[in-house]
Amino acid sequence: MSKRYPSRLVWSMVSTISAAVGTMLLAAGAHAQTAAGTTPEMTAAEIEQGKKIYFERCAGCHGVLRKGATGKNLEPHWTRKAADGTTTEGGMLRLGTARLEKIIALGTEGGMVNYDDILTKEEINIMARYIQRTPDVPPEFSLKDMEASWKLLVPVAERPKRQMNKINLKNVFATTLRDTGKLALIDGDTKQIWEILDTGYAVHISRLSASGRYVYTVGRDGLVTLIDLWFEKPKTVATIRMGSDARSVDTSKFKGFEDKYLIGGSYWPPQYSIMEGETLKPLKVVSTRGITVDGEYHPEPRVASIVSSHIKPEWVVNIKETGMILLVDYSDIKNLKVTTIDSAKFLHDGGWDITKRYFLVAANASHKIAAVDTKTGKLAALVDTKKIPHPGRGANFFHPQFGPVWATGHLGDPVVSLISTPSDKPAHAKFKQHNWKVVQELKMPGAGNLFVKTHPKSKNLWADLPMNPEREHTESVYVFDLTDLSKPPKKLDVAKDSGLPETKALRRVTHPEYNMAGDEVWLSLWGGKTDRSAIVIYDDKTLKVKKVITDPNMITPTGKFNVYNTQFDIY
């Protein structure tokens, strides 16, 4: 589950963006039949409200079909209380409405936040009853559906031939304004909002073309937006929908294929789509349904993170529920070649090691990090970690005792794990014995970390705790000194440093992001839709506040993606 949501129904919101898709989603079983005597009754309006909240807050972790991944299985066979109080087949007590209300309100130690300051008591009660019903199943989404949704707003021939503004594009921050369905492009030099553009709801990531000219966003409603930074004011030049739920996109970056293709991964339907990079014209849709690494069929293997290889014309595509890592060769789209690598289930986010040969991805509910060697096309290692690793892109730095390491935090345990990664440098041969091992665990004050971040020019490692239920932690960020990792991290009270008035609801500090120079760290102070939010910028050396960006339009800021660092995978 995640943070605040807009007042419109999700299905209605989707239909305003694409009437055909919205109508299709409204037909997705809103009035599923209840099991007599076991499922709490709900009105049609309550079912629609439950669907809306579940889509926006729960489906990302628990799945559309509620089979679980990062979050637990929420199918009715154990959420629905038995009339006689008996247990389910696995010996697990059926939960029922009262128990579910407590779990939703108070959260869990596994990384689920408390919702008593996000949802009303009535909404919590609705959700406790809704997840005892048979899951609604949205319809499929085909290549023809993509074609019908595609809008080429500005053809390539009508776009600028050169940059028409004087903005330092390399230091622009593409900033998600989650609940308004917008993206703020902020000038990293002047700290001024350059432009705010409409995008999909709750943009999960922004990615850059190989040239650095285009920004691609993907919303959790499946809408992909292509933004051209060369206009005097940045402009959306194309949009397309990939389905009803999505998380990831990336471009073709290998020499000779720059800006040629875009790949996007969907949560629903479970599939990935390939489009033209400069127009978003849909070219191919590939389903990811199939057999898991355990040999069982899964109907909802969602596409999690996608990255573009630096050494081959390939994308690394991570399939959450199956535990399969796909290397998709884009050199011949019509005759697509895919290498399938077994790893571990529930793949999520990840990032490159310092050499950009190995991609490390969290198999979070399996409590492992999978490392794939993109040079050999094979699994390099499965590394056991603490509970529910969630690295974002992770963080690379040189450890004086163990050499190159990559860091990940955890949703379920209060540590940041450092994993030794290989290096071809002769001077690093002495560290080989440590490769693919957790060589150190940095203690955090609590669980609930989402992102860690450093920079090649920095001596600090920043770690947030937005999913921690305690105000003192979730409104702060923690900074480790890389020159002396024996010291505890320094706590920065970001909410206090922002100068904004206190709020009843928690304001979550999240997603540290460096500027291009590597001497500033930008943090989102993520309040509710009616609260004042901000971007708080710290000097990386002094750890003092340099600037607070707040604006009436700065509503629920979350991810911030620096153009240069995102373009070249610097973290």
Sheet holding 214-218, edge to edge: 151-152, 235-241, 223-228, 214-218, 205-208
Distance CA 12, CA 18 (A): 10
Among 24, 58, 146, 444, which one carries the catalytic annotation?
58
Terminal CA-to-CA distance of the chain, rounded, Å?
Answer: 26
By CB atoms closer than 10 A (0-12, 13-18, 19+), residue 64 is buried
By CB atoms closer than 10 A (0-12, 13-18, 19+), residue 279 is middle
Among 390, 410, 455, 511, which one carries the catalytic annotation?
390
Among 62, 367, 455, 473, which one carries the catalytic annotation?
62
434 is catalytic: no
266, 223 Cβ separation under 8 angstroms: no
Residue 441 tokens, joined: 């665990």
Among 204, 298, 348, 473, which one carries the catalytic annotation?
348
Residues 6+ positions from 369 with CB-CB distance below 8 Å:
350, 360, 361, 362, 363, 382, 383, 385, 389, 391, 408, 419
356, 349 Cβ separation under 8 angstroms: no
In the block, tokens 């609260």 appear at 531
62 is catalytic: yes
Q: Which residues pair with 492 in a beta bridge?
A: 477
Helix (H) or strand (E) holding 509: strand 508-514
Among 24, 61, 242, 467, which one carries the catalytic annotation?
61
Distance CA 86, CA 150 (A): 51
Distance CA 453, CA 407 (A): 9
SS3 44: helix
**CA–CA distances in Å: residue 392 to residues 347, 351, 571:** 12, 7, 10
What backbone torsions phi and psi does residue 384 show, to the nearest 5 degrees? -75, 135
Among 112, 242, 444, 554, which one carries the catalytic annotation?
112
Sheet holding 545-549, edge to edge: 508-514, 520-526, 534-539, 545-549
Q: Give catalytic residue positions.
A: 58, 61-62, 112, 348, 390
